[in-house]
């Protein structure tokens, strides 16, 4: 097997025709998830596998329900949001700042994602808990509403198991 570290990701062995056309129209679904600090799901959504991740951030943040707190009014927004390099866009940073959410998004080509991994492991663990559900591992439903419902049921089961301990 050849070492491909120095090659451009879209080019194949000297072929200068551009990106691989097979990768463009991927079938399937992606699950997008916002969790709180310990990994309990707060907001969940699905999208097509061929859509970019940045299109799902704003609806997920808007979909966070009111959270009861011991003091003061119910919180509608998180205090801080950690995200990976896929969300590194200035307009998303401005949008989060306008909503009063402190963002910690790794910048492409500047920061390594190792420091962000200190906080991202909780979301990766939550995604692994979702992957344990056989119904979500492979999508059998044709309608997106049904798949989203099964995802919401799986998130409910995760919350029940974590809070019942």
pLDDT digits (tens, 9 = 90+) for 86-110: 788 889 999 999 988 888 887 877 7
Model-level pTM? 0.72
pLDDT digits (tens, 9 = 90+) for 112-155: 656 656 777 788 888 888 888 877 777 777 888 888 898 999 99
Rounded to whole angstroms, how far apart are CA atoms 69 and 67? 6
- The structural domain count of the chain equals 1
pLDDT digits (tens, 9 = 90+) for 8-64: 333 334 444 455 454 556 677 888 888 888 888 888 888 888 888 788 888 988 888
Percent helix, strand, coil in the chain, to 5, is 40, 15, 45
Q: Give the range of the structural domain holding residue 78, as residue numbers without chain letter.
A: 27-163
CATH code (residue 135) = 3.30.420
Mode of pairing for the β-strands spanning 80-83 and 41-48 = unpaired
**Domain membership flag for residue 16:** no
């Amino acid at each position: 097997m050849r070492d491909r570290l120095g090659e451009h990701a879209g080019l194949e062995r000297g072929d200068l025709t551009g990106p691989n056309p097979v990768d463009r129209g991927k079938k399937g679904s992606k699950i997008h998830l916002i969790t709180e600090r310990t990994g309990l799901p707060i907001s969940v959504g699905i999208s097509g596998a061929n859509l970019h991740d940045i299109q799902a951030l704003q609806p997920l943040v808007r979909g966070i329900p009111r959270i009861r707190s011991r003091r003061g009014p119910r919180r509608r927004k998180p205090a801080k949001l950690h995200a990976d390099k896929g969300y590194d866009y200035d307009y998303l940073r401005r949008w989060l700042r306008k909503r009063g959410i402190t963002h910690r998004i790794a910048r492409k080509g500047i920061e390594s994602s190792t420091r962000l991994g200190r906080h991202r492991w909780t979301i990766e663990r939550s995604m692994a808990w979702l992957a344990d559900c056989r119904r979500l591992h492979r999508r059998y439903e044709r309608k997106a509403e049904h798949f989203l419902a099964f995802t919401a049921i799986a998130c409910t089961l995760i919350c029940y198991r974590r809070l019942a301990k």
